[in-house]
Each structure stands twice: as C-alpha cells, then as structure tokens.
Amino acid sequence: MSEKDTVLAAKYSCADCARHCCHSESREHLPANCPMKNQEIHQNTIDEYCSPAYHDFYFTSMQVEKEGYYHWPRLRETVEFAKHMGYHKLGLAFCIGLSAEAKVCADYLRSKGFIVSSVICKSSGIDKQQLGLTLQQTVKESGFEGICDPIGQARLLAEDNTEFNIVLGLCVGHDSLFFQHSQAPVTVLAAKDKILCHNPIAALSPAAARYLKNRL
C-alpha cells in the first residue's frame, strides 16, 4: 500500500457492516475494525455525556426519542425537544428558496409559544462580485446576485440571543459554516435538494440508486 493509500484508508467501515453487534448484547465475532474495540474513546464519551455541560441536553434528546419514535414528524420532535429543554427563543436560519416553508415553520413555532428570530440566507445584501466572483460564476450569470451568508446568519442569531437554532434548507457548505459559527446548538429541519423535493435520502433507496446511477 502506497503512502497515499495509507492516508486515504478508512479506519472504520460501519456502513459496510451487516452484523451490527453494537445494537445487541452480543460481543462475539466483532469485525476486525469495529469501533466497539476502542473502549478508551467510548469511556471518555460516556463521561462527557454525563458531565454538567451535556447531561441535560443529551438525556432530553433520548427522552424525546422515546416519546416520539414513529409518532411525530421532525417538526414536532424539534418543538418537544425545545420545550423539554426550557428554551424560549428559537433561531431559524433558512434559504430564500424555502421562504414559504420558513413562514409556515415560524408561524407554527410561535403558535407553540416560542419567540422566533428568523434570518434569511441573503440577509447581507452583498453582491457575489464583491467577493471576487465573475458573472459567469454566478447562478444567474447576469446582474446582481446576493451571496448566501451563513456566517452572518449565525452572528445575527447570536446577537438576538437565540437558545436553539434550526436550519431550513441551507446549501451544502453553507450549512457547515453556519454550524461552525452558531453560538447556540443547532438542529436541521430540512436539507436542501431541489431535484428530490428536499428529500435527499430518496437518492439512497435501492430503486432510486439504480435509476440515478448514471445521473448523480
């Protein structure tokens, strides 16, 4: 194996495992690279879950999982989690392409008693050409085209002291920057996928995978 191959080689491959010993009490016949063999990491992880910094957040998530499993859509699950945590002000960072859905979401959250601070991805009003892009590198390839500003969204929500932020349809990469800069914990209500009606996991179903094999 070359040095490059060694760097690129994955240490863990749970996606290829058919045994799933981690989901049972069985500890026999573990795959050679099973993460369960790394007990030092897991013990440290348990200690962190039980620490004052994460205990309430983590145990609340397990409580909500128990209550809503196969009963609630993700929107309801988000609301119940926020209620259990005692949050009052929620942040909504959304894509301009999902403005209608953002309005419905904000109205729903307010109807459940939350204060909602919502910030659209184009909130800065900055032209992409100000960042050095040419017109040919923009989506419209003509005239003004505002940047998506996930760092700005995160900072504006922090300025408004939101306690829990919800991402609705931010682009790949933009969502990553939002996660990195958000002052409050973040959950994702929906991931953008204009081709699959914002249901990206549809591309992973066996039938879709065969159909889309040459199109992805």
Query: Does residue 91 contact residue 160 with C-beta atoms inside 8 Å?
Result: yes
Condensed to tens digits (0 to 9), the pLDDT of residues 3-18 reads 455 546 889 999 999 8
Give me the pLDDT at residue 13, please: 92
202: Cβ–Cβ under 8 A, 6 or more apart, which residues? 196, 208
Q: What is the pLDDT, as a whole number, of residue 212?
A: 64
We find that the CATH architecture of domain 74-212 is 3-Layer(aba) Sandwich (3.40)
pLDDT value at position 104? 98
CA distance 91 to 82: 11
**Kind and range of the H or E run holding 206:** helix 206-212
Tell me what pLDDT residue 144 has: 86
For the chain, which residues make up each domain, given as ranges? 32-71, 74-212
119-140 pLDDT per residue, tens: 999 999 888 888 787 877 877 7
CB atoms within 10 A of CB 149: 21
- Tell me the pTM: 0.88
Q: Could you say which residues of the chain have pLDDT below 50? A: 3, 7
